Chains A and B, each alone.
Chain A
């Protein structure tokens, strides 16, 4: 991989490693009396390790100059593997915390292992570690193929992949040390947030510069979604994380906003993290890999346009449905509810577009577990967006809010949609990346499919049950007009559901392990004499397209 960089690029990479080391050392020094010091040390160490790795290869010969006539897939390869590793790690933690709600004693007498610190390790691990790496990896792949151009940089893709993973590492280790800003899905503290901003700018510039090289006049739909993902996540991230650190030597900061304004900003962020991280980016994936695997073009171009702009516009209004019946002014709650209901239209347009694309290829869906992953993903996408719009209705939300119903909804979206579409995309992508005819084992894909589906169904059904039982118990009145149940009665009632959820989660986790193994074994399959040709090569133009 390093041999794909010229010596000049390697030298530049070393400079960046030195900068990273210095940055880490500075943080470590000014934060030596604080937990921040550990993170400084971690960054400095990472910088040094990277430096040594590159140095060991510095005298390797320059790469073949014909590299410009090929797509640049090394960063995607790393992204895919790392993404699956995050999945295994983070669903392991997810299942651990699920068991903790059944057996609360199953923990060590230490802060890092308690539910409250491990839960964000799970959420960050799956959303950013697994989801983020999957998005970055596939976006690089899709961008190049749909533009017929090589990535506009050899070093910058690595800055994105490695930098992003360092951010994830800072985040999850931070929670275990007790570093958290407490905002859901935006828990990392100020220095990690700033670090991510830098990485994200590199990502955005790389994306635009590659688009500028494209040989196709039109920007393909998938790239609209990836662009929206990159742009809007940047806006959300910067605004929601505005904060004043206690000092430059403290990890802790205080959010710029407070109370109602903070709540609204947070859920504007939170809901749109769902929209632009967990939805838009993955729709980008769907719009490329599903038609490719099915061998059919997207059903309707018009529907793609409507759903894209519908989602981009409407989602940003919907965050206040997280704050129904709270101290947030009524007019904002009502706006949030209204837009959430309308949101079902573009969401179903996307899901429908995907399913109609498969129409006529049902025998493939039946026989090919990879395509079936994507089919199920589209179904769960339709299901969870319908459910979401339903839960956004005030009276429904009065029952569902604060209960496991929300958690069930989250995982219908996260397991059923986000994870399934990713598995489908990866199983399509991996043989292309490593130039193999097929995946190592189609039976293992089949096994993964059924484990993932069973796990998801068990998870979601148990949470629907527990959520509705909880919500009904909280509002039940006895005949004499007093509340019928104490809070702990509702906790007792959850036991069987929490148990079932943890079992379902384990099945899902097991599927992930099998997936990682299968992908890894595919990369190690012996090369065949005539490797398959998947793509037309990039067009090397003297002039960029624009």
Chain B
């Protein structure tokens, strides 16, 4: 074996190909099947897409690096399920480009945060976390309430998401900017049009408490309120299994 290796060491190109070959095997065996094996991601009927306002909010979550301190992946461990709710299923992040499972919990998991607190709580918390949780070490994000949301180009965002596989319709893409605005302005024509496209159960509220001004706070809170609520399948599965016992 040592002799063979001594030969390999004399040939740079052969060495390069040997490295590529040896290093590729692991990834090919582990990753490629994830795209082809059907069981990897559950199929569910009620899985819905993010609305444009929620997409904008998700992008703010990414921009501010919230994922550095908060996971969105409840593991299949008893204490986690009791603390945060049913464990996360693959399908729940099916439309997450990229996923935000996270790797560190400086703060709690957020996978099932949606509707756990009121909008007003979130706004207060984001402006100054220590106003509502005195010993929190989370940064304050007061500027979100001051910054207007940039939403004119949301159609481009939805189109890009469709290109990577999220099933937005042409109509959703065309009216993305209007829908972004409409979701945060209840009782307006745009809000009605928004609900027609995304369903009556979608949240239509002035998330930051001020319907007159569409802010980054609106978008982020809208996103936080939908976490874990794109499909009900995790809860169903959880109640089925406890019901069966």
Stretch at the interface among B33-41, B193-201, B235-243: B33-41
Smallest Cβ distance from B232 to chain A, in angstroms?
A: 16
User: Is the Cβ of B93 less than 8 Å from the Cβ of A260?
Assistant: yes
Which A residues touch B59, using CB under 8 A? 252
| Structural contact, A483 and B82, CB atoms closer than 8 A | yes
Nearest neighbor of B94 in chain A, beta-carbon distance: A259
Q: Does A262 contact B (CB under 8 A)?
A: yes
Q: Nearest chain-B residue to A179 (Cβ)? A: B63
**Using a Cβ cutoff of 8 Å, how many contacts connect chains A and B?**
265
Interface members, chain A 391-417 (any B CB < 8 Å): 398, 401-403, 406-407
CB contacts under 8 Å to B, within A195-247, are 208, 211-212, 217-219, 224, 227-228, 231-232, 235, 239, 243-247
In residues 459-503 of chain A, which contact B (Cβ within 8 Å)? 470, 474-475, 477, 482-483, 487-488, 491-492, 494, 498
Interface check A111, CB cutoff 8 A:
yes
- A119 to B79 alpha-carbon distance, docked (Å): 29
- List B contacts of A265 (CB < 8 A): 31
Task: Out of B2, B6, B25, B101, name the residue touching A326 (CB < 8 Å).
Answer: B101
B165 and A258: CB pair below 8 A?
yes
- Structural contact, A258 and B97, CB atoms closer than 8 A: yes
Chain B proximity of A525: nearest CB distance (Å): 38
How many residues of B sit at the interface, in one of the four size bands? 35 or more
Interface centre among A102, A110, A116, A312 (most CB of B within 10 A): A116
Judging by beta carbons under 8 Å apart, are B94 and A268 in contact? no
CB neighbours (8 Å) of A179 from chain B are: 63
Enumerate chain A residues within 8 angstroms of B101, measured Cβ to Cβ.
Answer: 263, 323, 326
- The answer to whether B26 touches A116 (Cβ under 8 A) is no
Given A116-B64, A227-B15, A260-B40, A313 and B26 touching (CB < 8 A)? Answer: yes
- Find out whether the CB atom of A316 lies under 8 angstroms from the CB atom of B139: no
How many angstroms between the C-alpha atoms of A347 and B82 in the bound complex?
A: 39
Within residues 102 to 137 of chain B, which ones have a CB less than 8 A from any CB in chain A? 102-109, 129-130, 133, 135-137
Contact of A101 among B12, B106, B130, B156 (CB under 8 A): B106
Please name all residues of chain B whose beta carbon is closer than 8 Å to the beta carbon of A314 when the two chains form the complex: 26
Bound-state Cα–Cα, A398 to B78, Å: 11
Interface residues of B in 57-111 (CB under 8 A from A): 59, 62-69, 71, 73, 75-77, 79-80, 82-83, 87-109
Q: Are A219 and B94 in contact (CB under 8 A)?
A: no
Q: Given A259-B96, A260-B93, A491-B137 in contact, is the A406-B103 Cβ separation under 8 Å?
A: yes
Q: Kindly list chain A residues whose C-beta atoms are within 8 Å of the C-beta of B103.
A: 184, 322, 401-402, 406
Interface pair B137/A398, CB less than 8 Å apart: no
Given A329-B39, A483-B82, A219 and B12 contact (CB-CB distance below 8 Å): yes
B142 contacts A by Cβ under 8 Å: yes
CB-CB < 8 A to A346: which residues of B? Answer: none
Q: Taking each of B13, B25, B68, B135, which has the highest tally of chain A beta carbons within 10 Å of its own beta carbon?
A: B68
Instruction: Decide yes or no: A110 and B143 within 8 Å by CB, A101-B137, A255-B98, A474-B79 being known contacts.
Output: yes
Q: How far is the CA of A172 from the CA of B160 in the complex (A)?
A: 25
Beta-carbon nearest neighbor of A267 in chain B: B103
Q: How far is the CA of A217 from the CA of B15 in the complex (A)?
A: 13
> Which residues on the A side are within 8 Å of B22 (C-beta)?
309, 312-313
In contact, B20 and A231 (Cβ under 8 angstroms): yes
User: Do A258 and B2 touch (CB < 8 A)?
Assistant: no
A406 near B104 with CB under 8 A, answer: yes
* Residues A326 and B73 in contact in the complex (CB < 8 Å), given A246-B156, A474-B79: yes
| Contacting pair A246 B160 (CB below 8 A) | yes
B213 interface contact, C-beta 8 A: no
User: Shortest CB–CB separation between residue B137 and chain A, in angstroms?
Assistant: 5
Whether the pair B31, A261 counts as a contact (CB closer than 8 A) is yes
Q: How far is the CA of A398 from the CA of B80 in the complex (A)?
A: 10
Q: Chain A residue with minimal CB distance to B74?
A: A326
In the bound complex, CA of A487 to CA of B18 (Å): 49
Instruction: Enumerate chain B residues within 8 angstroms of A260, measured Cβ to Cβ.
Output: 34, 40-41, 90, 93, 99
Task: For chain A, give the interface size range.
Answer: 35 or more
Residue pair A487, B98 in contact (C-beta under 8 Å)? no
**A326 lies within 8 A of B75 (CB):** yes
Contact A228 B19 (CB under 8 A): yes
Q: Does A362 contact B (CB under 8 A)?
A: no
Q: How far is the CB of B16 from chain A (nearest CB, A)?
A: 6
Q: Which of A243, A315, A491 contacts B136 (CB 8 A)?
A: A491
| Residue contact B5 to A115, C-beta cutoff 8 Å | no
Residue A441 interfacial (CB < 8 Å):
no
- Which chain B residue has the least Cβ–Cβ distance from A339? B26
Report the nearest A residue to B154, measured CB to CB. Answer: A246
- A107 proximal to B (CB < 8 A): yes
Within 8 A of A (CB), among B215-234: none
Q: A317-B30, A335-B30 are in contact. Are A257 and B97 (CB under 8 A)?
A: yes
CB B150 to nearest CB in A, in angstroms, measures 9
A250 within 8 A of B: yes
B84 to chain A, nearest CB (A): 9
B161 interfacial contact with A, CB 8 Å: yes
Partner of A224 from the list B15, B24, B89, B136 (CB cut-off 8 Å) is B15
Decide yes or no whether A533 CB sits under 8 A from chain B. Answer: no
Q: CB-nearest residue of chain B relative to A397?
A: B75
Which A residues touch B12, using CB under 8 A? 208, 211-212, 219, 227, 546
Point out the residues of chain A lying under 8 angstroms from B161, CB to CB: 254
Find A325's partner among B62, B69, B75 (CB 8 Å cutoff).
B75
- In the complex the two chains form, what is the Cα distance from A244 to B98 in whole Å? 11
* Distance, CA A98 to CA B78, complexed state (A): 31
- Complex Cα gap A217–B163 (Å): 51
B19 with A325: CB separation less than 8 A: no
User: How far is it, in angstroms, between the C-alpha of A43 and the C-alpha of B43 when the chains are bound?
Assistant: 46
For A313, give its contact among B23, B31, B139 (CB under 8 Å): B23
Chain B contacts for A366, CB-based, 8 A: none
A266 at the interface (CB under 8 A from B): yes
Question: Is A324 a contact of B75 with CB atoms below 8 Å?
Answer: yes
15 contacts between A and B (CB under 8 A): A104-B138, A116-B66, A120-B68, A247-B160, A254-B163, A259-B91, A259-B94, A262-B93, A264-B31, A324-B75, A332-B30, A398-B75, A398-B77, A403-B105, A475-B77
Known contacts A111-B63, A487-B108; can you find 14 more A-B pairs with CB under 8 A?
Answer: A102-B137, A111-B143, A219-B12, A259-B90, A265-B31, A316-B23, A320-B30, A323-B101, A327-B73, A329-B34, A402-B109, A403-B104, A406-B103, A487-B83
Chain A residues near B (Cβ < 8 Å): 100-102, 104-105, 107, 109-111, 114-117, 119-120, 175, 178-184, 208, 211-212, 217-219, 224, 227-228, 231-232, 235, 239, 243-247, 250, 252-266, 268, 301-302, 305, 309, 312-320, 322-329, 332, 335-336, 339, 398, 401-403, 406-407, 470, 474-475, 477, 482-483, 487-488, 491-492, 494, 498, 546
The 4 lowest CB-CB distance pairs between A and B, nearest first, are A116-B65, A316-B26, A325-B75, A317-B26
